[in-house]
């Protein structure tokens, strides 16, 4: 017991020495709401000129008067940035002062930390661990799970889709879920693992899961952007894009959710490689988006429901994002999203906004959901999971189960609706 105590003291001492004596020297997340156009311009400038990372909105172009901005400010630019804000009478609030500790907390307890009481699914996992998990999941459930290699990333990492299938009825329909298009949205990857675990554990036990799996195969891509995800573990926790090297610039990475062929690279994306919303050299220029597009093209007759998981801001979105026009089945989609949001509210007392992407967040072209929709997958959604900015991308592991369970209930609600709308009722002999 005594040794344990000394151990903890030493641990914290180590922490103190590493991070400096006061919180001022830590990386921070600032919340700033510009009040005038001048302040908007200063903020746009800060977020591009200095070594900061914009959390919200995704790109400086969306910074507007009276709209809250979340900005990651690393310790070494903290003073400069704060001085600049002060000089222009821009007030800020420190959203997170202990960023380094939060990051440490999320990466420390991977694999087998004896002090952790949480289960495997209540922690974040390194890319290597996720690859192991994919392998093990397939081995442990040979008659329900198959791993399919659909391509590889820019840095040649494999892209595995898990196929969950409990029968092979002729003309079997399917749904698709991808996670981790954006590297820093870690709750997304965690959700894909959660979903698989839940499906495998509760098939034949939970009525909804059973009905879904009896009627649809499920394709799950747990890590669509493995290079970016690896980079968030080793080098920069705030990385969003993939890691492809541009021919025309020293800046790295394409926003995979701007790289699909849906009004590609129009307003809401950028052809500038140094931005977070760089659309790439041409539609599907990236091996990751191309692999997904190829797979869906070759399965478009069976896949009825497309879902892409992101974070943060708690929204259930559907096409279009790339235009203000309404989708042909807008009313259906709206009704489904509304029902899903109601289920979350009822069971978890949490609020999710819902609506078409363009009207709910911003006009943005090149997204996977719009592309899948235009391919003919008429039930196409993007979920933005927890939270609404308290922790942002740094959602603590203790909040994973809540976030995943509420997303799960939304997925179930919509999947059941899709089955109801598109499939003849199954006969129960």
Q: Contact positions toward ligand 9B3, by CB under 6 A? A: 58, 182, 257, 310, 317, 321, 357, 361, 364, 366-367, 369-370, 382, 384
C-alpha distances (whole Å) from 359 to each of 316, 325, 362 are 12, 10, 6
Q: Which does 341 bind (CB under 5 to 8 A by kind): ligand 9B3, Zn ion, none?
A: none
Q: Indicate the residue among 182 and 378 with the shorter CB distance to Zn ion.
A: 182
Residue whose beta carbon is closest to ligand 9B3: 367
DSSP per residue, 4-43: HHHHHHHHHHHHHHHH-SSGGGS-EEEEE---SHHHHHHH
Task: Report whether 154 contacts 242 (CB < 8 A).
Answer: yes
Which one from 185, 284, 384, 406 is the annotated catalytic residue? 384
The neighbour count for residue 320, using CB atoms within 10 Å, is: 26
Q: Indicate the residue among 131 and 371 with the shorter CB distance to ligand 9B3.
A: 371
Part of the chain binding Zn ion (CB under 5 A), chosen from 184-192, 203-211, 274-282, 343-351: 184-192
Part of the chain binding Zn ion (CB under 5 A), chosen from 114-122, 176-184, 375-383, 406-414: 176-184
Q: Which two tokens stand for residue 215?
A: 């009627």
Q: Please report how the helices 330-348 and 400-422 are oriented relative to each other, as an axis angle in degrees rounded to 10.
A: 140
Q: What stretch of H or E contains 103? A: helix 99-108
Q: Report in angstroms how near the CB of residue 17 gets to ligand 9B3 at its nearest.
A: 36
What residues pair up with 270 in beta bridges, in sequence order? 278
**Cis, bond preceding 312 (omega within 30 deg of 0):** yes
Q: Indicate the residue among 164 and 393 with the shorter CB distance to Zn ion.
A: 393
Q: Which does 412 bind (CB under 5 to 8 A by kind): ligand 9B3, Zn ion, none?
A: none
384 catalytically annotated? yes
- Cα separation, 50 vs 247, whole angstroms: 24
Q: Report in angstroms how near the CB of residue 321 gets to ligand 9B3 at its nearest.
A: 3
- Cα separation, 368 vs 393, whole angstroms: 21
Is residue 127 exposed (0-12), middle (13-18) or buried (19+ Cβ within 10 Å)? buried
- Cα separation, 120 vs 402, whole angstroms: 15
Q: Report in angstroms how near the CB of residue 98 gets to ligand 9B3 at its nearest.
A: 24
Q: Indicate the residue among 39 and 233 with the shorter CB distance to Zn ion.
A: 233
- Residues 125-144 binding Zn ion (CB under 5 A) are none
Q: Which does 42 bind (CB under 5 to 8 A by kind): Zn ion, ligand 9B3, none?
A: none
Of 155, 164, 106, which Cα lies nearest the Cα of 137?
164
- Cα separation, 20 vs 26, whole angstroms: 8
Which 3 state secondary structure label does DSSP give 282? coil
Q: Report in angstroms how near the CB of residue 7 gets to ligand 9B3 at its nearest.
A: 40
C-alpha distances (whole Å) from 15 to each of 20, 28, 342 are 8, 16, 43
Q: Report in angstroms how near the CB of residue 59 gets to Zn ion at its nearest.
A: 12
Q: For residue 310, state whether it binds Zn ion (rule: CB under 5 A).
A: yes
Q: Indicate the residue among 145 and 175 with the shorter CB distance to ligand 9B3.
A: 175
Q: Which does 253 bind (CB under 5 to 8 A by kind): Zn ion, ligand 9B3, none?
A: none
Q: Report in angstroms how near the CB of residue 204 gets to ligand 9B3 at its nearest.
A: 34
For Zn ion (CB under 5 A), the number of binding residues is 3
Q: Report in angstroms how near the CB of residue 309 gets to Zn ion at its nearest.
A: 8
Q: Indicate the residue among 70 and 310 with the shorter CB distance to ligand 9B3.
A: 310
Task: Report whether 379 contacts 279 (CB < 8 A).
Answer: no
Q: Indicate the residue among 243 and 310 with the shorter CB distance to ligand 9B3.
A: 310
Q: Which does 230 bind (CB under 5 to 8 A by kind): Zn ion, ligand 9B3, none?
A: none
Q: For residue 189, state whether it binds Zn ion (rule: CB under 5 A).
A: no
Which residues of the chain form contacts with Zn ion (CB under 5 A)?
182, 185, 310
Catalytic site positions: 384
């Amino acid at each position: 017991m005594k040794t344990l105590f000394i151990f903890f003291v030493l641990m914290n001492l180590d922490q103190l020495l590493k991070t400096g004596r006061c919180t001022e020297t830590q990386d921070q997340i600032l919340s700033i709401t510009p009040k005038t156009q001048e302040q908007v311009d200063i903020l746009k400038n800060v977020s591009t000129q200095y070594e900061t990372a914009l959390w919200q909105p995704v790109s400086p172009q969306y910074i507007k008067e009276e709209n809250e901005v979340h900005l990651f400010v690393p310790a070494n630019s903290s003073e400069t940035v704060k001085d600049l804000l002060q000089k222009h009478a821009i007030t800020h609030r420190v959203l997170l002062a202990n960023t380094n500790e939060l990051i440490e907390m999320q990466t420390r307890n991977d694999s087998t930390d004896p002090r952790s009481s949480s289960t495997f699914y209540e922690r974040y996992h390194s890319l290597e661990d996720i690859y192991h998990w994919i392998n093990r999941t397939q081995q442990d459930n040979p008659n329900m799970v198959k791993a399919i290699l659909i391509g590889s990333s820019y840095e040649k990492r494999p892209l595995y889709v898990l196929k969950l299938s409990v029968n092979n009825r002729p003309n079997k329909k399917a749904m698709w879920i991808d996670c981790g298009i954006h590297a820093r949205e870690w709750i997304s990857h965690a959700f894909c693992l959660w979903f698989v675990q839940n499906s495998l554990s509760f098939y034949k036990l939970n009525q909804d899961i059973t009905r879904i799996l009896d009627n649809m195969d499920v394709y799950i891509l747990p890590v669509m952007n493995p290079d970016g995800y690896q980079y968030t573990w080793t080098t920069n926790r705030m990385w969003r894009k993939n890691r492809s090297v541009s021919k025309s610039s020293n800046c790295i990475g394409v926003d995979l959710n701007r790289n699909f062929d849906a009004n590609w690279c129009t307003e809401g994306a950028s052809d500038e490689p140094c931005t977070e919303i760089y659309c790439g050299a041409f539609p599907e220029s990236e091996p990751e988006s191309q692999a997904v597009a190829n797979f869906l093209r070759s399965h478009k007759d069976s896949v009825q429901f497309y879902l892409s998981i992101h974070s943060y801001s708690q929204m259930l979105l559907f096409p279009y994002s790339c235009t203000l026009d309404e989708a042909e089945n807008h009313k259906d989609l709206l009704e489904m999203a509304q029902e899903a949001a109601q289920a979350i509210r009822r069971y978890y007392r949490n609020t999710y906004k819902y609506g078409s992407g363009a009207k709910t967040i911003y006009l943005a072209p090149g997204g996977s959901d719009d592309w899948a929709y235009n391919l003919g997958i008429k039930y196409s959604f993007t979920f933005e999971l927890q939270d609404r900015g308290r922790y942002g991308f740094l959602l603590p592991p203790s909040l994973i189960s809540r976030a995943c369970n509420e997303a799960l209930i939304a997925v179930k609600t919509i999947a059941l609706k899709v089955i109801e709308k598109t499939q003849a009722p199954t006969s129960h002999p």
